[in-house]
Structure 1
Amino acid sequence: MNIKSNEKKENSAIELVIEVSAAEFDAAINKVYNKQKKNIMVPGFRKGKVPRKMVEKMYGEQVFFEDAVEEAYPAAYDAALKEAGIVPVAYPKLEIVEVSKDGFTFKALVTVQPEASVKEYKGLVVAKPEVKVTAADVKAEMKPYIDRASRLVSVDRKAKKGDVAVIDFEGFKDGVAFEGGKGENYSLELGSGTFVPGFEEQVIGMKAGEEKDLDITFPENYTADLAGAAVVFKVKVNEVKERQEPALDDEFAKDVSEFDTLDEFKKDLKEKLKARRQQQADHDYETAVIDALLENLVCDVPEAMVDYRADKMVEEQAMRMQQNGLNFQDYLKYMGLSMDDVRAQAKTAADRAVRTALALDAVAKAEGIEVTQEELDAEVKRLAEQFNVTEEQVREVTNESDMKQDLGSKKALELVKSSAKKPAKKKEEAQAETTEAQGE
């Protein structure tokens, strides 16, 4: 392999012209011939025993050229990158220039990481969300427990929203009963929105034993035979049940949780809700900090770099689905998507991911941030514990250089976050907070 030229191009690209020698090409041809000879048949020779020279004489010396180029160029390309000290950040664009028995020459347009800088990264003004949990929030958290512990009790009154009406019903279109429109002793929670719009609203106010015809118009996006159709449902209410909630006391807490008192149960719900909200607030704050950082990024991001990251995201998605026993192609068919659709969806996230990595890398370089061997070892240990594997297994499947860059980016992000400032409060906001504090 010989690099004939190494030239910088636009959009952070380098064009290499790479020459593969006659000896290297001949070795590739011989490798291709040995793979294919078992399928070559020539009169007078046993299958798989036809000499290479005979095949070339019959079909021309170029018979193996195309496959030999495919065989040889990856190693030549990798060797050229290593010799030139180039680290690609996207798939290369390859072009075969010349092929003969004396070897072949090809061009490789290689995208490399662009120069990036950040105008400002310290003292960014970013609002930090405050996490609060009110008594109403805790009560809302208790609702699923209350619902499970509630009883349905038959009542002799008109049905209202929230009740369960046990009904018989049958639907008619143009006086003819339609398929799927009949039910007996069906328990319908009024207000749940499980039936066609307008149905539950008309059942509200009916009593047990009452019968009624409901005029209903199906939505336009309903099944083809009933879309937009005006129908009549004949409904009879057999029973009305109301939901009786349990007394919220210590006995309730014992029944629905591991705690002995209602206060302990509510305290636990509050702490868990606060932790969830804090986690979301931290995520939202980090996103806002990165948004502010990206506004100050100075860089022409190569399109090829974004495309490469989007492809990797799609590959990772397919791999995760496969690990969960799902076929990615079946998923695309079910969702009515093509691979181009999925790549297009991934490209927005890929663009942000690429620009974020470039910005944080620029911050790390500007600050002289380095990752020590001790920090690398600690990260390997953390990953081993997280995935319940050995540290040796983690080292086998991870690239130390990539891990080092990732840790450096995390340190850079922490620096940017720690130096960020809250926006100045308006006079009205400050007065409102003072009033609220006095009220409390």
Structure 2
Amino acid sequence: MQVTETLKDGLKRAYTITVSAAELEAKVQEKLLEAQPDIEIKGFRKGKVPLAILKKQFGQRLTGDAMQDAIDGAMKDHFEKTGDRPALQPEVKMVGGEEWKEGQDVVVEMAYEALPPIPELDTAKITLERLVVKADEGAVEEALKNLADNAKNFEARKKGSKAKSGDQVVIDFKGSVDGDYFEGGAGEDYPLVLGSNSFIPGFEDQLVGTKAGEEVKVEVSFPENYGAAHLAGKAAVFETTVKEVREPKAAEIDDELAKKFGAEDLAALKGQITSRLEDEYKGASRAVMKRSLLDQLDGLVQFDLPAKLVEAEASQIAHQLWHEENPDHHGHDHGSIETTDEHKKLAERRVRLGLLLAEIGRKADVEVSDAEMTQAVLAAARQYPGQERAFFEFVQKNAQMQQQLRAPLYEDKVVDHIVAGAKVTDKEIGKDDLQKAVEALDEF
């Protein structure tokens, strides 16, 4: 077997792999001998079928298997000897293809871009500022007020009071389109909060100012993208009776409120809120510090980038941004999306940082544990209520999905490893300043 270099230009590599006819025949014979003891053909005892007959019956398939094994083995040996790591799956093409005949040498062309050598990083040169925010009394009180508002009750207004936005009206309604009542368009004693936007656009607005006992014909049009196709875009009339008008009453901030949210008393609830707020602040602070770290890394280390890796990343960025700008288009039948210089610049940054973090993690033996992966899968599964088990099973069978979940975990562990060796100083600030720092982060 012979491997001959045909191209070495920057990170680009190309080789010709030649498997001689004799080597291929030897591998076929080896496979025939391996299979012989388990094969039984009419007229011969199991394991006693002559090799010539086996070759006649199974030779073509075994030749293909032997050819693949030989090429795979040659590629493996090549990467072990050279130390090259391909940036993407190597392109492999058989010379002659369909014209190849038994008894001829097998010649294969292999091309790839190698991952670049990445310089050592001195983490001690990195200086970072960690923003520290304490949950002050005002923030805790604001959170308590929001909880009380969410736990509010509605009490009947005085007889004759007009409904205001934010009030709850108890209604009976019956909807029709072109004079015909439609299924699912009726309800009784329905509590509707005006301004909640839980009904068709325009419905709630027409009930503002109504009183208990009034009958109203609410005229609206179903949205063009309404879920029920037979109603989408249609004008409808809802015969509505307002049975009661109720005003919101925020819950008292006391031990009873705390118990509604699973705390023993108000003091315990305040402690939980303080802990939750500070966890949120730490998460936001970490995002700011991580961006600062990535910006520094992007300037500290420079190396050649695999062109096809950058091209693929730029294409993905362009595709993602196109869908963000066209949220109503969910399919992929939108034709070609051109990549711009801005896409390419962002792709180069992402590829550079991705390769650098991967190399740092490899040298530091950073790994994502099974327990960490399980937690990530469970967290992702919560986004699909009622389908958690199905999602979990889907991830178990889908290597690409596993990689999508593992990648951010791995990146965060590498970031933690770098931060541990960097110079980090703490700076106490207020939550408003932290919010400004988060808002200042560019989208990458």
Fold shared by both chains (TM-score > 0.5): yes
Instruction: Choose from 233, 239, 243 the match for 1:238.
Output: 243
Once residues 168 and 411 of structure 1 are traced to their aligned partners in structure 2, the CA distance between those partners, rounded to angstroms, is 61
The residue number in structure 2 matching 1:282 is: 286
Matched, 1:9 2:8: yes
Deviation per residue, 1:281-331 (Å, 9 max, x gap): 212331243145336654442144468999xxxxxxxxxxxxxxxxxxxxx
TM-score (norm 2): 0.63
The 8 Å contact of residues 12 and 302 in structure 1, kept in 2 or not, is answered as yes
The residue number in structure 2 matching 1:418 is: 423
The residue number in structure 2 matching 1:85 is: 83
Q: Give 1:135 deviation, angstroms.
A: 5.5
The residue number in structure 1 matching 2:17 is: 18
Between 139-148 and 168-177, the greater mean CA deviation after superposition: 139-148
Once residues 27 and 312 of structure 2 are traced to their aligned partners in structure 1, the CA distance between those partners, rounded to angstroms, is 29
The 8 Å contact of residues 167 and 187 in structure 1, kept in 2 or not, is answered as yes
Instruction: Choose from 249, 252, 258 the match for 1:253.
Output: 258
Once residues 19 and 31 of structure 2 are traced to their aligned partners in structure 1, the CA distance between those partners, rounded to angstroms, is 16
CA distance 1:119–1:282, shift in 2 (3 Å)? closer
CA distance 1:224–1:62, shift in 2 (3 Å)? closer
Matches within 5 A, 1:3-82: 3-10=2-9, 12-22=11-21, 24-30=23-29, 51-54=50-53, 65-82=63-80
The one-letter code of the counterpart of 1:356 is: L
Q: Give 1:69 deviation, angstroms.
A: 1.2
Matched, 1:225 2:215: no
Matches within 5 A, 1:150-169: 150-156=152-158, 157-169=161-173
CA distance 1:384–1:183, shift in 2 (3 Å)? closer
Question: RMSD of aligned C-alpha atoms?
Answer: 5.1
Deviation per residue, 1:326-349 (Å, 9 max, x gap): xxxxxxxxx7569x99xx9xx999
TM-score (norm 1): 0.63
Deviation per residue, 1:345-379 (Å, 9 max, x gap): xx9998765321334579x79xxx975xxxx6xx7
The 8 Å contact of residues 32 and 71 in structure 1, kept in 2 or not, is answered as no
Instruction: Choose from 188, 191, 198 the match for 2:195.
Output: 191
Once residues 415 and 27 of structure 2 are traced to their aligned partners in structure 1, the CA distance between those partners, rounded to angstroms, is 42
The one-letter code of the counterpart of 2:71 is: Y
Once residues 260 and 412 of structure 2 are traced to their aligned partners in structure 1, the CA distance between those partners, rounded to angstroms, is 47
The one-letter code of the counterpart of 2:11 is: S
CA distance 1:42–1:48, shift in 2 (3 Å)? same
Q: How many residues in Structure 1 have an aligned counterpart in Structure 2?
A: 364
CA distance 1:207–1:35, shift in 2 (3 Å)? farther
CA distance 1:410–1:177, shift in 2 (3 Å)? closer
Secondary structure of 2:181's match? strand
The residue number in structure 2 matching 1:269 is: 273
Between 149-158 and 208-217, the greater mean CA deviation after superposition: 149-158
Once residues 4 and 185 of structure 1 are traced to their aligned partners in structure 2, the CA distance between those partners, rounded to angstroms, is 81
Secondary structure of 2:423's match? helix
Q: Give 1:193 deviation, angstroms.
A: 0.5
CA distance 1:410–1:269, shift in 2 (3 Å)? closer
Instruction: Choose from 92, 113, 116 the match for 2:115.
Output: 113
Once residues 249 and 182 of structure 1 are traced to their aligned partners in structure 2, the CA distance between those partners, rounded to angstroms, is 39
- Structure 1 gaps, min length 5: 311-334, 389-403, 423-428, 430-440
Between 248-257 and 115-124, the greater mean CA deviation after superposition: 115-124
The 8 Å contact of residues 20 and 105 in structure 1, kept in 2 or not, is answered as yes
The residue number in structure 2 matching 1:327 is: none
- Identity across matched positions, percent: 30
Once residues 127 and 87 of structure 1 are traced to their aligned partners in structure 2, the CA distance between those partners, rounded to angstroms, is 36
The 8 Å contact of residues 3 and 80 in structure 1, kept in 2 or not, is answered as no
Q: Give 1:3 deviation, angstroms.
A: 3.8
CA distance 1:30–1:304, shift in 2 (3 Å)? farther
Once residues 215 and 308 of structure 1 are traced to their aligned partners in structure 2, the CA distance between those partners, rounded to angstroms, is 51
The residue number in structure 1 matching 2:355 is: 358
The 8 Å contact of residues 92 and 109 in structure 1, kept in 2 or not, is answered as yes
The 8 Å contact of residues 120 and 296 in structure 1, kept in 2 or not, is answered as no
The 8 Å contact of residues 208 and 240 in structure 1, kept in 2 or not, is answered as yes
Once residues 254 and 58 of structure 1 are traced to their aligned partners in structure 2, the CA distance between those partners, rounded to angstroms, is 77
Matches within 5 A, 1:325-364: 354-360=351-357
Once residues 264 and 290 of structure 1 are traced to their aligned partners in structure 2, the CA distance between those partners, rounded to angstroms, is 39
The one-letter code of the counterpart of 2:276 is: K
Once residues 19 and 149 of structure 1 are traced to their aligned partners in structure 2, the CA distance between those partners, rounded to angstroms, is 75
Q: Give 1:104 deviation, angstroms.
A: 2.5
Once residues 406 and 276 of structure 1 are traced to their aligned partners in structure 2, the CA distance between those partners, rounded to angstroms, is 17
Q: Give 1:122 deviation, angstroms.
A: 8.7
Q: Give 1:196 deviation, angstroms.
A: 0.6
The one-letter code of the counterpart of 1:184 is: E
Secondary structure of 1:86's match? coil
Once residues 47 and 300 of structure 1 are traced to their aligned partners in structure 2, the CA distance between those partners, rounded to angstroms, is 59
